[in-house]
Structure 1
Amino acid sequence: MKTAAWKTGLLSLCATALTLCAVSVHAEDLLAKAKRTGELVIGTEMQFAPFDFLENGKQAGFNSDFFAEVGKDLGVKVRFLDLPWPSVLPGLEANKFDIVGGPVTVTKARMERYRFTLPVAEATVAFLKRANDKSVMKSQDVSGKTVGGGKGSAQLDQVKKYVETLPAKATVREYVDNNQAYADLAAGRIVAVGNSLPNVAYVARQRPETFAVVQPAFGQKVYFSYVGRKDADSKALLDAVDQSILKMHKDGRLVALQKKWFGIEMEAPETMPTPAE
């Protein structure tokens, strides 16, 4: 009887220990984990210039510089995972990394599923034109002409909606990727390419003798932000990233990074706006 009681007591003690261990592990949120390990892990796709791209085999772009500043503010190092874009958001949901460093356009549907950081750049769609084309000085000037955009992209949808509002509907050509559209634009086969403002600003900055951005942007105003899971474990980390972004607003680091990588300063609200759709 004593042996049985002893075994029962031992099993109960082990079960209690395991429960306390599980509670202890669960209690360590992502911010606490990052500070303990000294590392923040970011999932991204390094084929989205100017945010993330490879230059001579090494990561370059806005994201690398931005998260280096976040890492300094949080007192941790940052490690990026380069993944195909279709696997990035599923990877976040599977807890394979802490934050998505896409960045991602803020939409109502995504806000229901994910927690966004404060915006870091405007994602509104604008036209890229040839630098010497005086016939396109504002977005409405593409009326009755031929423009292009990336096939299957949200930006192309914005272009299609916009040209429907013009006095003479523009013809819209769809391209497998934006580089093909830019090549046709440079060759004079189309008068403009629609893409998010940071992307076209970067292209114009890289080739100012060939391209220029048509200002102001014409699309529905939207923003780029970073994405985390919508759970209790992520809250403290995402709150800390938001605080870092606010610090970058105040000390000028955010604007400096925008100018460095986009060539222009752009709006990034200090509170999360409600997206139109």
Structure 2
Amino acid sequence: MKIGTLLRGALLGLAFGGLTGTASADQLANVKSAGKIVTATDMHYAPFDMVVDGAYQGMTKDLFDNVAKEIGVEPVYQDLPWTSQLPGLEVSKFDIVIAPVTITPERLERYTFTPPIADATVGIVKAAANKDINKPEDIAGKTVGVQQGTAQFKQLQEFGAKVGNVTIKEYGTTDEAYADLAAGRLDAVAGSAPNLAYLVKQRGDVFALPEVSTFGRPTYFAWVLRKGDDSASFAGAIKDAIAKMTKDGRIKAIQEKWLGKYTELPLDVPAK
């Protein structure tokens, strides 16, 4: 799918102007009637979401193409700023947020999550030439970048307060943070372990993982729906599709394609 056919962030006003209308009493019936699932994601979050040579691709797209096929509808992919996605979901401007969203107790209170689609444990990446940071605690007294409004930002705040004297710089996208790290304006960038591992795999001459790179509690990425009885059947259909894909090996194949390894994931949403 070429980028010209995508509903881009430049069309944010249109996206927030009623693509899906008001929520029906049964969201699954609604999307089947429409023949499509209108999604929101941020296409600047490799390896999950990215635009390469004008085409949207990534682990998220591969996974959700299969989920939509199982449900029997076409996916419509929108490229929107991360900070607009959950607010837009709440007012029914699209059906689901498929940007990888970290499952947190606070979000579980407010949204319906699908089963996990990937590990999301937070870690740090440094410049390849950096010899001072060999474990997360070494960011004390350093400047660390992170994407704003993310669970990784919150965990970095907590960890920074614990180790002391960490200056946190927020970015709209991880790409911006990586660029500043490469330019020497940051000492490290915090993000989810899969994203950082992919970054180093692609650009090992510029970036490196410390000997110990992760910190904090183990967490997972998932997709997000509105909370309420109307979304229950839709959430159930997605759960069934993920379970089928896990059983027949598609989840494993997609993980290995994009992450280089397979991590077995829970088939239920982790408890608070």
TM-score bracket, shorter-length normalisation: 0.7 to 0.9
The alpha carbon displacement at 1:128 in A equals 1.0
Which of 238, 241, 263 is matched with 1:241 structurally? Answer: 238
1:205 and 1:263 in contact (8 A); partners too: no
**Hey, what's the Cα distance between the residues in 2 that align with 1:170 and 1:258?**
37
Compare the two structures and name the one with the higher helix fraction: 1
User: Taking structure 1 as the reference length, what is the TM-score of the superposition?
Assistant: 0.75
Determine the C-alpha separation between the residues in 1 that align with 2:85 and 2:91: 10
1:38 aligned residue (23, 35, 39): 35
1:146 alignment counterpart: 142
What is the Cα deviation at residue 132 of structure 1? 5.7
Question: Percent same amino acid at aligned positions?
Answer: 42
Count of residue correspondences? 247
Alignment of 1:213 with 2:176, yes or no, is: no
Q: Cα 1:76–1:175, aligned 2, differ >3 Å: closer, same or farther?
A: closer
Secondary structure of residue in 2 paired with 1:48: coil
Provide closer, same or farther for how the CA distance between residues 183 and 54 of structure 1 changes in structure 2, counting only shifts above 3 A. Answer: closer
Helix, strand or coil at the partner of 2:77? strand
Partner of 1:95: 92
Cα RMSD, aligned residues only: 2.9
Measure how far apart 1:224 and its partner are. 1.2
Structure 1 gaps of 5+ residues are: 1-24
Q: CA offsets per residue over residues 174-213 of structure 1, 9 Å max, x none?
A: 2545445434544566553211223212211221233233
Deviation at 1:268, TM superposition (A): 2.8
Bigger mean CA offset, 100-109 vs 31-40 = 31-40
Indicate whether 1:222 and 2:210 are aligned: no
Deviation at 1:60, TM superposition (A): 1.5
Instruction: Find out whether 1:115 has 2:112 as its counterpart.
Output: yes
> Unpaired segments of 5 or more residues in structure 2?
1-22
**What corresponds to 1:271 in structure 2?**
268
Q: Pick closer, same or farther for the CA change 1:81–1:231 going to 2, 3 Å.
A: same
Say if 2:42 and 2:49, in contact at 8 Å, map to a contact too.
yes
Partner residue, 2:169:
174
Given the alignment of the two structures, is residue 69 of structure 1 paired with residue 95 of structure 2, yes or no? no
Distance 1:228 1:203, change over 3 A: same
- Matched residue type, 1:213: L
| Residue 204 of structure 1 pairs with residue 237 of structure 2 | no
Give TM-score scaled by structure 2 length.
Answer: 0.76
| 1:201–1:263 Cα contact (<8 Å) kept | no
